[in-house]
Amino acid sequence: MKILQWHCDYFKYKATRLALKTELEHASESEHKFENVIVALTCVEKEDTPETGRNAVIALKRHIEEVKADMLVIYPYAHLTNNLSTPSIALTVLKEMESYAKLQGIKVHRAPFGWYKEFEVKVKGHPLAELSKTIT
């Protein structure tokens, strides 16, 4: 799993249209906006499992606590690898991340999988505001 992680003053997105041939989950066309948030642009790779997703949440939780962010946004982002998982497995892993984050007491939002989305972001300017991670 590859994650590009931002600590943001704000992050907002809106689903615009389906990116896959088959809709795996419905997306609201309304805009979503979050403040003081960790955004995890998350790319699920072929070898990833739900356990990989749980490991990612553990790493993200440490960072959320360190920078005192209010919440986590899990944002599916296929552009970080050439080794993509299948859509159905990717969605399973992302949903596991969301569920496990809630179990860990993290306020979390998961952006819809398989949709093109427009987004706007203001990333903070401190040393831990932009990170990349490889989770196994």
Residues 103-133 pLDDT 10s: 999 999 999 999 999 999 999 999 999 999 9
Interatomic CA distance for residues 24 and 27, integer angstroms: 10
The DSSP secondary-structure symbol of 53 reads: H
Domains of the chain, first to last: 2-134 (3.50.80.10)
| Secondary structure of residue 135 in the 3-state scheme | coil
Whole-model pTM: value is 0.95
For 79-107, write each residue's pLDDT tens digit.
999 999 999 999 999 999 999 999 999 99
For 23-76, write each residue's pLDDT tens digit.
788 887 789 999 999 999 999 999 999 999 999 999 999 999 999 999 999 999
Interatomic CA distance for residues 79 and 94, integer angstroms: 15
Helices 87-103, 50-67: inter-axial angle, 10-degree rounding: 40
